[in-house]
Amino acid sequence: MERVSIYDFQVKTIKNESVNLEQYRGKTLLIVNTASKCGFTPQYAGLEDLHKKFTDRGLVVLGFPCNQFGQQEPGNEAEIAEFCSLNFSTTFPLFGKIDVNGPTTAPLYKYLKSEAPGLLGTEAVKWNFTKFLVDATGKVQKRYAPTETPEAIAKDLETKL
């Protein structure tokens, strides 16, 4: 059986268009489960800063809205896109709402969690704004807790890009 890679996944954009992650081959990815009504929501600004600062060095931030933690992403895709644009002027790609835990976990997140388990080997995503760093070869390098800010991650990116 052929090994699965990050590039094998199809996802839906925030506009419900099907996209293959193959299009990001050769790029470093920071994949984040996001929410609009969370204490960590201001991280959207930091994520946008990372995206702008490192895009010419190959970084792409990918945001995946999720409503599984405290119902903090109650809006539909159009509302989420408008919120991000108006409040944070986001230009990085946003995707359709997904589940990151439980029986309806998106296949991409099943893969990310198995490749980069959390504390003590647990796979469950603990909260909004958990981040996964994927290198330019498609290998999942690291999982960052929601409390690890985009500014702190910038230090890792400086050495990896």
**Residue pair 69/35 in contact by the 8 Å Cβ criterion:** yes
**Residue carrying structure tokens 């890792």:** 156
| Among candidate residues 132, 126, 139, the one with its CA nearest the CA of residue 153 | 132
pLDDT in tens, the chain (161 residues): 456 899 999 999 999 999 999 999 999 999 999 999 999 999 999 999 999 999 999 999 999 999 999 999 999 999 999 999 999 999 999 999 999 999 999 999 999 999 998 776 778 999 999 999 999 999 999 999 999 999 999 988 988 78
Question: Rounded distance, CA 104 to CA 111, Å?
Answer: 13
Which CATH number among 1.10.10.60, 3.40.640.10, 2.60.40.1120, 3.40.30.10 corresponds to the domain 6-160?
A: 3.40.30.10
Which amino acid belongs to residue 41?
T
Beta strand extents in 10-155 (DSSP E only): 10-12, 18-20, 28-34, 59-65, 131-134, 140-144
pLDDT of residue 1: 45
Q: Which two tokens stand for residue 31?
A: 């994949």
Q: Which two tokens stand for residue 16?
A: 């419900």
Contacts of residue 144, Cβ cutoff 8 Å, sequence gap at least 6: 130, 131, 132, 133, 153
Residue 109: left if φ>0, alpha if ψ -120 to 50, beta else—which one?
A: alpha
Catalytically active residues, by annotation = 38
